Structure formats: C-alpha cells, structure tokens
Amino acid sequence: MPNRTLCRVLDEMRKANETRNFSYLLGLIEEAQVMGDRMEAGLYDKADEETLRETIKQLEARRKILRDEVNALKVEKGEEPKTYYDL
C-alpha cells in the first residue's frame, strides 16, 4: 500500500460520516494524529536546521578571527604562522 496522506485519511473520515459507519473512525483519528505529529516535528526540525546553520556561520567567523590572532602572536614571537589546515 502506498504512503497515505492526511487528506486521504480525512476523506475516509468524511465517508464514515456519510455512511454513518463509525466502526473504524477511532483508528482514522489516531492515524491523522500521528501524521499531524510527524508534520509538526518536521517543521521544528527545519527551524532547528536553519538556526544551526546560522550558528555554524557565526562560529566559523569567530574561528577565522582567532586563527588570525594566533598567527599574529606567533609572528610577534618570531615563530612561523600556521596554515589553515594546521590549526
């Protein structure tokens, strides 16, 4: 059976109401709840992903600043500055 969508489950609920056959309605409600929960979780994950990307950008910028500071201190001490891959 292919993946079901929330709209299909809601259509089945409407059919159950039209035919007044409520024997499987509780199962459909549960299925719709699970689908809704998964959709909400996906939205939260997407928001977290965007926040993490911003945090990564900020940390990379901070790392570059610190790397430059370390290299400047090494030059002051007369040592050879390290390359990007050495840090």
Percentage with pLDDT > 90 across the chain: 74
Instruction: Give the model's pLDDT for residue 1.
Output: 44
Q: What is the pLDDT of residue 78?
A: 87
Judged against a pLDDT cut of 60, whether residue 87 lies above it is answered with no
User: What percent of the chain stands above pLDDT 70?
Assistant: 93
54 within 8 A of 42, measured Cβ to Cβ: no
CB-based contacts of 4, cutoff 8 Å, min separation 6: 31, 35
Please check the confidence at residue 68 and state whether its pLDDT lies above 80: yes
Kindly report the average pLDDT of the chain as a whole number: 90
